[in-house]
Amino acid sequence: MRDGAAQGGARWVRATDGGPYLFKRSFSTLDHDDLSQRAKAARILVVLICKHEFDARYQKSEDKLYIAQLYFPLIGQILDEMPMFYNLNAVEKREVLVVILQIIRNLDDMTLIKAWQQRVA
């Protein structure tokens, strides 16, 4: 068990497990016809990742890795929905790409290698 999770206990788990749920909901809103809803959804994705990134409680590399691993499966969802991604405007695309890069930035090499091997195979 990670040190941060052991020290923070259930509070830490509650604080981070809601993030992927909000991420999924916000991502699904990017396919909405209402442009203002899409813009809000893209902004929520960035804010959510930034809150985790700059939260003083999660500055250890193992905490950042754990959070990135929580969000990492959602990158597959983004890749599976590429036609929707092409329909976004430039600002929305940039925000989604920032989120993807931020998640990948905090992953370890083994997670990336394993994902690459599974995706290619």
- Does the pLDDT value for residue 88 go beyond 90? no
Tally of domains in the chain:
1
Highest mean pLDDT among 14-18, 21-25, 108-112, 117-121: 108-112
Q: Which domain holds residue 110?
A: 3-120
| Per-position DSSP letters for 40-52, written without gaps between them | HHHHHHHHHHHHH
Chain segment 1-33, per-residue pLDDT in tens? 444 444 443 344 444 455 566 666 666 666 657
Judge whether 24 and 78 are in contact, CB under 8 Å: no
pTM tops 0.85, yes or no: no
- The whole-angstrom separation of Cα 107 and Cα 89 is 28
